[in-house]
Amino acid sequence: MTRPNNNTVQALQWTGNTLKVLDQRQLPEAIVYNAYSDAAGVTEAIATMRVRGAPAIGIAAAYGVVLSVIKHHAEAPAHWRQKVAADIEMLATSRPTAVNLFWALEQMKAVLNQPQANPLEAILACAEKIHADDIAANYKMGELGAELLAGAKGVMTHCNTGALATGGYGTALGVIRSAYRRQPIKVYAGETRPWLQGARLTVWELAQDSIPVTLIADSAAAWLMKSGAIDWVIVGADRIAANGDTANKIGTYSLAVLAKQHGIKFMVVAPTTTIDWEIKNGGQVEIEQRHQNELLPACYLKEGSLVSAWNPVFDVTPVELIAALVTERGVVLKPDVQGIRGLKDVI
């Protein structure tokens, strides 16, 4: 497959001895990279959402393990292995919902558990492969998803699922990029309260790529759908259960319900690294609750305040609301346990 000539922004850059992370909290006002040289720094960068988005979190964590090995591997083997194992545990606490984090750490552990002539070289190769495979998966999904969109005039997306959220190009946003290259479509992005991934990141990314986009308040989605402007809602995923239930940014479930009401198709785009084969359904996904200060005005944060906030940052869309699951291993239409299990055997 030929890759589109695309210079999308890079959320993560490996320099050889540090991981440079684009601080997404400062976008779109400022482009600031911070360099991290240990796993503690990377853990903090993930927890504070300097880097966010399921695949990007997994890739960052993988490089965090590399940094740990760089830091400790000159010590006696028993010592450095213990320290790296502790760093892996720490990285795993950075955020709970995106399964890509745990998947990437398992890949790194598997390499460390094999006898290696040069553990540092092997662990770096694994992180770079996770990174490169994610980009390749996104290009593949872009093409597969764009085929489904043939003839579509308008699409709506939620959160940020682009280069900023992945190794590059994006999942749902990759599909929108690929579809737009084939034939311009009208793109609507929800602002994605409360953290505003849509308003601050998605519209910025698309504009960087010369793709026109219209921002809407999340609460305008139903009215927009009723207008007839939307053929597909296209979103990414943080964790997909074995039956296809999909955890993604809070508000995704509302969009899926609204899409059903308006006869609009709903597409989930995610690499198979986002499938959690261990859980039967979405009820088993841990939903991250973030601090109420992301939602509440400062005046309500004082002790004794009668106003509090409930801030779950993901929700679960039941599989029956999903028309298509697009992965790098193929498309599953009307996904269910069997259709999803079929992806396991595809090489």
Q: Is 249 a residue that touches ligand MRU (CB under 6 A)?
A: yes
Q: Which of 316, 229, 230 is nearest to 265 (CA)?
A: 230
Q: Which of 68, 94, 197, 202 binds ligand MRU (CB under 6 A)?
A: 197
User: Binding of ligand MRU at residue 198 (CB under 6 A)?
Assistant: no
Which amino acid, one-letter code, is at 251? G
What is the x/- site pattern for ligand MRU, positions 73-112, by CB under 6 A?
-------------------------x--------------
Question: Annotated catalytic, 38?
Answer: no
Contacts of 89 (CB under 8 A, 6+ apart): none
Q: Which of 54, 91, 187, 279 binds ligand MRU (CB under 6 A)?
A: 54
Q: Is there binding between residue 313 and ligand MRU (CB under 6 A)? A: yes
Strand order in the sheet with 33-36: 12-14, 19-22, 33-36
d(CA 52, CA 42) in angstroms, rounded, equals 12
Specify burial of residue 283 (Cβ count, 10 A radius: 0-12, 13-18, 19+).
Answer: exposed
CB of 116 to ligand MRU, least distance (A): 31
Q: Minimal distance in Å, beta carbon 69 to ligand MRU?
A: 26
Stretches 52-60, 260-268, 291-299, 321-329: which one binds ligand MRU (CB under 6 A)? 52-60
Contact 181, 211 (CB under 8 A): no
Least distance CB 179 / ligand MRU (angstroms)? 16
Which residues are registered as beta bridge partners of 267?
234, 324
Cα 145 from chain centroid (whole Å): 17
Report if residue 239 touches ligand MRU, rule: CB under 6 A: no
Given the residues 238, 245, 276, 315, select the one marked as catalytic.
238
Name the DSSP class of 202: I
DSSP-based three-state secondary structure for 65: helix
Q: What is the DSSP letter of 151?
A: T
Taking contact as CB under 6 A, which single stretch among the options 4-12, 28-36, 50-58, 71-79 is the one that binds ligand MRU? 50-58
Catalytic residues: 238
Residue numbers at the binding site for ligand MRU (CB under 6 A): 52-55, 98, 159, 161, 165-166, 171, 197, 236-238, 248-249, 313
